[in-house]
Amino acid sequence: MPECTSEFTKWYALTVRYQHERQTERVLQSKGLETLVPLYRSPRQWSDRVKSVDLPLFAGYVFCRFTAGTQVNGRMQVLDTPGVSGIVGFGGALAAIEDSEIADIQRLVALNLPLAPWPYLKAGDRIRVERGPMRGLEGTLLRTKDALRLVIGVELLQRSIAVEVDRDSVIPEKKRRCVA
């Protein structure tokens, strides 16, 4: 993957045409831009068999790192890409995604654990994983009837992903103090 490491480049969420996440990602990469389309495996029933397919964790979105200006590797280069509908923003201004949120998603995908899209949660206990391969990850604890899950979200998109965690490996996150 090409990498733009300038201090002015930030991650943005691009809205893309229905089921065009991977094609759009390939075109953006061919333009020299760093992209991310995290995938998960999902079983699908055909008339004669069940097959596992890779689907985007954030359907309808491609994450892309670029400089928001109009120069090369900028906004216009992204918007001119086939499949891109727009760049997520508010009040006419582009909304950047925190590097730490993208890094957490990349780390979870690299662990090859079972992932799945999850409804975004606003309320819930914040936790930090203290042991195991996910050590240091922080997110929201979700209790289901038979498991505990760590939910990590992208605030800007109000979308989340969940992964099963062992109860003994997590601790409550300490509240952060705001210094004025």
Is the domain of 161 the same as that of 89? no
Q: What is the pLDDT of residues 126-137, one digit of tens each?
A: 888 888 899 999
| Last-in-domain residue among 97, 113, 144 | 97
Residue 115: inside a domain, yes or no?
yes
CB atoms within 10 A of CB 109: 17
Q: E strands along 17-167, which residues?
A: 34-36, 39-45, 50-56, 61-67, 84-87, 89-90, 93-94, 96-97, 116-119, 125-129, 138-143, 148-154, 159-165
* Final residue in a domain of this structure, among 64, 97, 130: 97
Q: Are residues 111 and 84 part of one domain?
A: no
At 123, which CATH number? 2.30.30
Q: Residue 113 belongs to what domain range? A: 99-172
Number of domains in the chain: 2
The enclosing domain of 81 has a CATH number of: 3.30.70.940
Same domain, 47 and 13: yes
Domain-embedded: residue 177? no
* pLDDT score recorded for residue 7: 59
* Residue 59: predicted pLDDT: 94
The residue among 55, 75, 97 that closes a domain is 97
In the chain, which stretches have pLDDT less than 50?
A: 1-5, 121-123, 176-180
Model pLDDT, residue 33: 94
43 strand-pairing partners: 52
Please give the model's pTM, rounded to 2 decimal places.
Answer: 0.73
Query: Are 80 and 141 in a shared domain?
Result: no
Q: Are residues 159 and 119 in the same domain?
A: yes
